[in-house]
Structures are given as structure tokens and as C-alpha cells.
Amino acid sequence: MIAHMGIKYEFLSYFFAIITTIVISFVLIKTVIALTKKQICVEE
């Protein structure tokens, strides 16, 4: 039972790590797109 809980906890932490990575990269991409759009507008 204890070993099973350990595996479950490990899976959850791994799962949250993936979600956090996806969210951070998504925010970074949105920021980069917003910045490039601003630069394009300024250049025009």
C-alpha cells in the first residue's frame, strides 16, 4: 500500500511538472507573439 502511494505521488508530481511546463511555454509564446506584433506595428 505504501509503495503504491509513492508511485501515485510520483505520477502526480510528474503530471504537474508537465502542466507547469506547458503553461509557462504557452505564456512565453504568447508574450513573444505580442512583442513581435508591437514591433511590426511600430515599424509600420
> What are the pLDDT digits (tens) for 1-42?
556 667 788 889 999 999 999 999 999 999 999 999 888 777
Q: What confidence score (pLDDT) does residue 26 get?
A: 97
Q: What confidence score (pLDDT) does residue 39 get?
A: 80
Q: How far apart are the first and last CA of the chain?
A: 64
Between CA 30 and CA 25 the distance in angstroms is 9
DSSP designation for 25: H
User: Cα 11 to the chain's mean position, in Å?
Assistant: 17
Joined together, the cell numbers standing for residue 30 give 504568447
Between CA 24 and CA 26 the distance in angstroms is 5
